[in-house]
Structure 1
Amino acid sequence: MTWGRKQRQEAGDGAQQWQVAGNVIVGINEERAREIAEVTAKQVIAEHAGVALAIVQERIDEFDRRVISSLEARGHLDAFGDPAFQRAYRKAQTGAASSDRATDYDTLAALLSDRAESVGDRVAVGAIEKAIEVVDLVDDLALRGMSLMYAIREWHPFSYDIDEGLDVIDRMMGVLITGPLPHGSEWVMHLESLGLVRATTVMELKKMPLLLSEKLVGYVAPGVESRAMPEQVHPAVPGVRWEPLTVEHALKPGYRRVRASNEAMLSRVFEQNGFPQHWREIIMAEARSLFGLGTIDPSLREPLLAAAQERTHLAQAMIFWDSIPLGAHLTLTGETLAKANAYRLDTEGYITRE
């Protein structure tokens, strides 16, 4: 995610340079970034005087190596010129010095990349810096469960095809399920103690049969009988036909539905194809009234669930979700950490960085 604006300048000698407020030029290359990291590292190491200094130094060195490499790859070395970023970096070094999990370094690197992109967004910066403070305190099982909770609630497939869309979700769940999943309520209470989750017994989580159909509402739309589908969308959008905007309903033979997993995905298609705003509004209204886009055919919930249960990782994720005993909701800090952990695990680039 990107917040704020930068005015780019040409930079030489491997430096990245930008103009802030029209009159200040700053350039940061890898060598300078390492110098800044060493300065903040000395402050962190001083706090550990007499306590296994060699181990602390080794951990910070490895952390610095990974983070600088990650920031350079994403074009964020210039963040080292920001005193506020240096403060966040020092916090992250403190966490790395306290952690015996090398994976924490990559999670912290992902958070610092988000921090570098979030200049000017105080809400995002606050959540990121809170997440940095607790990375080394989160139990592995709880982190896995929290990341899966975030993915189930927030991720949507772009594909209009049901099988392809479910396969995408299954693949993304596989990215996150790297070991056993937590059960019971202890892990939720652990996350709540760190400010990453709010748990309540008053409002339970929606069960998977309902949640899945709501997330993939386009897949379970009522649709319209193929023979009854009109050719043209509307007189006010000349030349636009329903045939290329619809697909055979895999869960309802003899019917057609709109080619989208939900309304947001259809809007994206309109935008990519340059449809004027008033066209989009007319087509969307017709899609809702004629094909039931945005509504659910109750008879299609079970077929969709059955198709999802055929996917190994998605089936695991659904069982896990339905076993969560409390009405647990991620805080903004929890969402921030869960997303950073997902990006750390996604070495193949399956997850869209948006």
Structure 2
Amino acid sequence: MAQDEEQFLVPRTKLGSQGLEVSKLGFGCMGLTGVYNSPVSEEEGVSIIKDAFSKGITFFDTADIYGPLANEVLVGKALKQLPREKIQLATKFGIAGFDMNRTMVKGDPEYVRTCCEASLQRLGVDYIDLYYQHRVDTSVPIEETMDELKKLVQEGKIRYIGLSEASPDTIRRAHAVHPITALQMEWSLWTREIEEEIVPLCKELGIGIVPYSPLGRGFFGGRAVVESLPATSSLATHPRFHGENLNKNKTIYNRIEALAKKHQCSPAQLALAWILQQGDDVVPIPGTTKIKNLDENVGSLRVKLTEEDREEISDAVPIEEIAGERTYINMLQNSWRFADTPPKGCRDSG
């Protein structure tokens, strides 16, 4: 990487209209404790978080279910070696576990408080900057969940409230109790269901959007994923990476690869630039376990696209041509009846 790229720092932006300022590119910590592949060592995990911070990334995303629990512990150890006042820490509650491939969701007030206090302890911090409800428990009125989150804000234990994979109705009802600062949703070149209803609603209410899996769960990360996905990777059971679906989706990758050459960047950088430039308060959180991938992600901020460029990239990935659902095969049948009604076009809660 050129020297000027090494010195480039990620710029900052406002996330939502409630005052939270974060780095324009965040870092998703989930993979550090193993999801798609094997976890990294504690030393490696701490090192990559510190390296991200040195490049200007200050917005770090974790959750109690990652690990489970271990991810927050790892992030907490990294935070002890960084200036806390310069970090925007996001974590989540709401997924209580999995039973027979079903996502078990909880959102009652007692559970909210218990989870928050446990996360504070694991992270080793006095407050959480952005606290998300990871999935919405439809057995509990969202107003009751929000009332408890509002109390946690008043007590200084959390500073801002977020939702993840929530429906438009839930977002409006929650926002009426206490302003929602950010909504975390899956959003990438091949997962665009939120664009019809969710994105306009967030702009209307002043809610920032935090896209997770902005590289299509790694699909747009490089040809190695497309051509030689390890059999041990959990992505091998993902519908879009599986069998004939993967063969069909390679055509999509080839188009993005060709456009990336046109813009003199990698496919990953083009995919990230496309979503980074959807709005000032759109802050994706790609995760990685490799410094070279982190450097590549940061480099996406230097790829400038015109409106015509973004349309051309969008047109290269027609949603009707994407083969396979956006969630795992073994979760399709059972998971979403435990969670909130998904945005139009989605089959489950993700």
* TM-score for the superposition, normalised by structure 2: 0.26
Decide which structure has greater strand share. Answer: 2
Structure of higher CA gyration radius: 1
